Chain A
Amino acid sequence: GNSVTQMEGPVTLSEEAFLTINCTYTATGYPSLFWYVQYPGEGLQLLLKATKADDKGSNKGFEATYRKETTSFHLEKGSVQVSDSAVYFCALSGGSNYKLTFGKGTLLTVNP
């Protein structure tokens, strides 16, 4: 079945540091890939997505590229801010029988 493995946290960075959160997946066919973000006390919201190989999703300075050859979808941001502190989830969705499969989440804390 489908699965998502993402970098375990927590990750603690200083403001303006470079961020990478690794995500790899196992899936049949051609899944869509997503990064969701969960701010404290809130539900999940979509951060970015990519629907086919070599697509780059981007939003709010975050980027991730769909790499089919390495089955990866790593999240990056060049300069993090305190307001980026949240839990980040990598997820995939694919096939006719929908199932949005999540990684376990990575807690990011950005200090001023």
Chain B
Amino acid sequence: DADVTQTPRNRITKTGKRIMLECSQTKGHDRMYWYRQDPGLGLRLIYYSFDVKDINKGEISDGYSVSRQAQAKFSLSLESAIPNQTALYFCATSRGSNTEAFFGQGTRLTVV
């Protein structure tokens, strides 16, 4: 089984709908992250969490919210999806600063 699991893997949704992307990890890491990948733009950080009670905005948090339900679970919500949120979304975890991150396999989201 994967150490970092994202669900769903693919999703098509309509403009204005609320959608949640889920991430769970078995690494035992405190730190979890949500990134968005767009062609030519690399990965951009949406939100990150250092522990269950610590949530921080990344560089592109507008239009997104997150919930850290437990050490192992970190979900990303789009309250009212719009087409320019069509992208590949990655969850990642790490043990601490200056250490490597472990990524899930990604969720391909299409907003029509």
Q: How many interface residues does A have (CB within 8 Å)?
A: 24
User: In the complex, how many angstroms separate the beta carbon of A16 from the nearest chain B beta carbon?
Assistant: 29
Most buried by A among B42, B103, B105: B42
Compute how far the CA of A99 lies from the CA of B35 in the bound complex, rounded to whole angstroms. Answer: 11
Q: Do B98 and A32 have beta carbons less than 8 Å apart? A: yes
Contacts of B94 in A (CB 8 A): 98, 100
A102 near B100: Cβ-Cβ < 8 Å: no
Report if A100-B103 is in contact (Cβ < 8 Å); known contacts: A32-B98, A44-B90, A105-B42.
no
> Is B42's CB under 8 angstroms from A94's CB?
no
Q: Does B84 contact A (CB under 8 A)?
A: no
Apart from A93-B99, A100-B45, A102-B43, what are 8 other A-B pairs with CB-CB below 8 Å?
Answer: A42-B105, A43-B103, A43-B104, A46-B102, A89-B42, A93-B98, A93-B101, A100-B92
**8 A-B residue pairings within 8 Å (CB atoms):** A32-B99, A36-B103, A43-B90, A43-B103, A44-B101, A51-B98, A95-B97, A104-B42
State the B residues within 8 Å of A (CB): 4, 31, 33, 40-43, 45, 48, 50, 58, 90, 92, 94, 96-106
